[in-house]
Amino acid sequence: MLEVKDVHAGYGNLKILRGINMNVPTGGIVTLLGGNGTGKSTLLKAISGLIPLMQGDVFFNGVNISNMKPHQRMRLGLVQVTQAKEAYPAMTVEENLVLGAYTRRDREGTKADLEKVYEFFPVLRERRKQLSGTLSGGEVQMLVIGRGLMAAPKMLMLDEPSAALAPKVVLEIFANINRIAKSGVTILVVEQNVRMALILAQYGYIIRDGVIMMQGEADNLISDPAVKDSFLGGSVADTSKALRN
Amino acid sequence: MAFDFNSLLAFIIFGVTIGVVYGIVALGISLIYSGLDIVHFAHGEMYMFGAFFGLVLAHNVGVPYPVALVGAMILTALLGMAVERVFYRRLTRAGGGYTVAGMGMIICGFGMSVALVNAAYFFFGAEAEPFRANLDYIPRLTFPGDINVPESYVLTAIISVLLMAGLHYFLRHTKTGLAVRAVAHNKDIAYLMGVNVPLMISLIFGLACGLAAAAGVLIGPMQSVQVEMGYLMLMKAFAAAVVGGFGSLPGAIVGGIMVGIFENLGAAYISASHKDIYAFLLLILVLMFKPSGLFGVEAKVKA
């Protein structure tokens, strides 16, 4: 569904990504892993069009979207869920969600999707008239994911959905991402929480210093000694069980 | 002068009417500020052009006053959008008010102001022109205590309230208004929601300049229309915007009304020949005791 070919990008003269190749197949969950300052968010911005490419191409469903503006890419169904801190705090929960459906013209479908989001995240229904600035961290994360879903995406890109959240909340969010994927939305999730992300995803890319350092099936990566040493410690069995039940 | 309650009431009523006009211009300045992070120094000239467009439409073309008002708003909105598209966009694209480009933006605004004033001299001439409008169908208001409010003031109050209500409805209850607010808060996220950000910025500019034009046409019948009228209005609208809290839309209106009242009372009870000082006196007082303004919004934090 998404193909990233030899992408170089950065800010001004500063090049951060140096030749990224990536492939996200339709219907799957792919994760992009890496620590702070490795280029994860830069790659997301390059894919969604917030920063221009210096070199290389991005294809979405076979269409070269390298020169499209962000809102045009979004209209193709390539939707980026922003980091949780980037909800609109001065708007109510429902206004945020309606804004997610900004490009849609089908009222009935939008209404149905709003209901669907409220079913995914019942707490948002309770808080729908509240300003989103008053929500807790986990609730805001649910809100930005819900806002992404309102756009009726073909593919959803999530930017660190586990950031700054309690483990129990992370589990809930990830279980919901799993449900969203099952409903037919392709997912690319950028994470620092390597363990959770590899349990959730089928395929993983590890980025360091602007290049893909390692890639492979999630099951292989999780048992890979190099990954284990640098990112993981301890058993994954418990988390796995909790996530899948 | 002996204290007379009725004349105090009259000064306040006139202050409020002139104040809402300041408020409308301040509203535009706040709108542009919250949308683009730039302070638009040529906004007074938009007001002046609006007044002249209204004048030309009413006198030379001969359309009724309300039509001239709407026509002037549309023409000025188009002028503002063109100016934004051609001159400002390059700078705003390079970053908003907190960057080096933001400084360039301020200078560009000043330059635009001078250019527009000179263009107006060329097209409209240097003479102050009276704006004669037939407002007989508007009732004169008479308040208890023999306070007569002329038609033009009544009309100003009505139109201003309509404009504010319209703007409020647009921003709060329409999808496009929601998108405008989204762009005002964070352009990148708005982009990711599929909002056509450059188009919304054009719209914000058009709205703000249209409001300034309305103020110009409303002031027209009270004072005469002349090329230099924009400068003082800009200053007073700035005072209003700062008093209310820069970037806050209700603050702009309340600030405008306060400036209007303050100015009228100062002119009445202290010295009429220093009328234009009082707005800035109020500004300084507010800055001393509540620098964020009455409805001050917290400074926007850029990620």
Q: Are residues A72 and A160 in the same domain?
A: yes
Task: Tokens for B63, please give them.
Answer: 């359309």
Render each residue's pLDDT in chain B as its tens digit; 303 residues.
Answer: 556 777 888 888 889 999 999 999 999 999 988 887 788 899 999 999 999 999 999 988 888 888 999 999 999 999 999 998 988 887 776 655 556 666 778 888 899 999 999 999 999 888 888 888 777 777 777 777 677 778 888 888 889 989 999 999 999 889 899 899 888 888 888 888 888 888 999 999 999 999 999 999 998 888 888 888 898 999 999 999 999 888 788 889 999 999 999 999 998 888 888 888 888 899 999 888 888 888 865 544 333
Average pLDDT value for residue range A23-28: 90
Separation of alpha carbons B13 and B141, rounded Å: 11
Please count the structural domains in chain A.
Answer: 2
Query: What CATH number corresponds to the domain at position A12?
Result: 3.40.50.300
Largest interatomic CA distance in chain B: 64
Q: Are residues A170 and A57 in the same domain?
A: yes
Average pLDDT value for residue range A90-101: 88
The answer to whether B208 and B40 have CB atoms below 8 angstroms apart is yes
Higher pLDDT among residues B6 and A175, named by residue: A175
pLDDT of residue B100: 63
The answer to whether B182 and A88 have CB atoms below 8 angstroms apart is yes
**CB of B94 within 8 Å of any CB in chain A?**
no
State residue A188 phi and psi, 5-degree precision.
-115, 120
pLDDT of residue B10: 85
The reply to whether ipTM tops 0.90 is no
Length of chain A in residues, anyone? 245
**CB of A75 within 8 Å of any CB in chain B?**
yes
Q: What is the pLDDT of residues B263-288, one digit of tens each?
A: 999 988 888 888 888 888 999 998 88
**CB of A14 within 8 Å of any CB in chain B?**
no
B 173-192 → A contacts, CB under 8 A: 175, 178-179, 181-182, 185-186, 188-189, 191-192
pLDDT of residue B115: 94
Average pLDDT value for residue range A97-120: 88
Last residue of a domain, one of A152, A173, A200: A152
E strand map for chain A: 2-11, 14-24, 29-33, 53-60, 63-64, 78-81, 155-159, 186-191, 203-208, 211-217
Tell me how close the Cα of A46 comes to any Cα of chain B, in angstroms. Answer: 12
Q: Are residues A219 and A160 in the same domain?
A: yes
Q: What is the pLDDT of residues A216-245, one digit of tens each?
A: 888 888 888 777 766 655 455 556 666 766
Size of interface A-B (CB pairs under 8 A): 61
pLDDT of residue A245: 61
pLDDT of residue B20: 92
Average pLDDT, chain B: 86
Q: Are residues A92 and A1 in the same domain?
A: no
Phi-psi group of A184: left, alpha or beta (phi > 0 → left; psi -120 to 50 → alpha; rest → beta): left
Q: Are residues A176 and A192 in the same domain?
A: yes
Last residue of a domain, one of A112, A131, A152: A152
pLDDT of residue B214: 95
Tell me how close the Cα of B100 comes to any Cα of chain A, in angstroms. Answer: 15
Phi-psi group of B4: left, alpha or beta (phi > 0 → left; psi -120 to 50 → alpha; rest → beta): beta
Q: Are residues A4 and A111 in the same domain?
A: no
* Of residues B186, B189, B194, nearest to A151 (C-beta): B194
Question: If 0-12 CB within 10 Å is exposed, 13-18 middle and 19+ buried, where does residue B166 land?
Answer: exposed
Range of the domain at A191: 1-77+156-245
Is pLDDT at A58 greater than 90 in this prediction? yes
pLDDT of residue B101: 61
Q: How far is CA A38 from CA A83, A192, A209, A245, B116, in A?
A: 17, 11, 5, 33, 49
Which residues of chain B are within 8 Å of residue A100 when distances are taken between CB atoms?
193
Verify whether the Cβ–Cβ distance B181 to A90 is below 8 Å: yes
Could you give the 3-state DSSP secondary structure of residue A7? Answer: strand
Could you give the 3-state DSSP secondary structure of residue A78? Answer: strand
Which residues of chain A are within 8 Å of residue B185 when distances are taken between CB atoms?
88, 90
pLDDT of residue B185: 84
Position B244, amino acid? G
Handedness of CA B46, B51, B52, B54 (dihedral sign): positive
Q: Which of A51, A80, A86, A88 to mutate to test the interface with B (most CBs of B within 10 A)?
A: A88
Q: Are residues A166 and A145 in the same domain?
A: no
Tell me how close the Cα of A147 comes to any Cα of chain B, in angstroms. Answer: 8
Q: Are residues A146 and A173 in the same domain?
A: no
* Of residues A50, A100, A147, nearest to B188 (C-beta): A50
The answer to whether B29 and B233 have CB atoms below 8 angstroms apart is no
Q: Are residues A127 and A170 in the same domain?
A: no
pLDDT of residue A234: 47
Question: Please, what are the domains in chain B?
Answer: 9-121+150-289 (1.10.3470)
Q: Are residues A166 and A230 in the same domain?
A: yes
Q: What is the pLDDT of residues A122-157, one digit of tens each?
A: 999 999 899 888 888 888 999 999 999 999 899 999
Separation of alpha carbons B105 and B83, rounded Å: 13
* DSSP character at residue B139: P
Q: If you measure CA to CA, which chain B residue comes closest to A77?
A: B194
DSSP B159-180: HHHHHHHHHHHHHHHSHHHHHH
If one counts every other C-beta atom within 10 angstroms of the C-beta of residue A15, the result is: 15
**Percentage above 90 pLDDT, chain A:** 34
Q: Are residues A147 and A161 in the same domain?
A: no
Residues forming a β-bridge with B239: none
Query: Whole-angstrom distance between the N-terminal and C-terminal Cα of chain A?
Result: 29
pLDDT of residue B35: 81
Separation of alpha carbons A139 and A176, rounded Å: 13
Last residue of a domain, one of A152, A170, A196: A152
Verify whether the Cβ–Cβ distance B191 to A99 is below 8 Å: no
E strand map for B144-280: 147-149
Task: Tokens for B202, please give them.
Answer: 């054009």
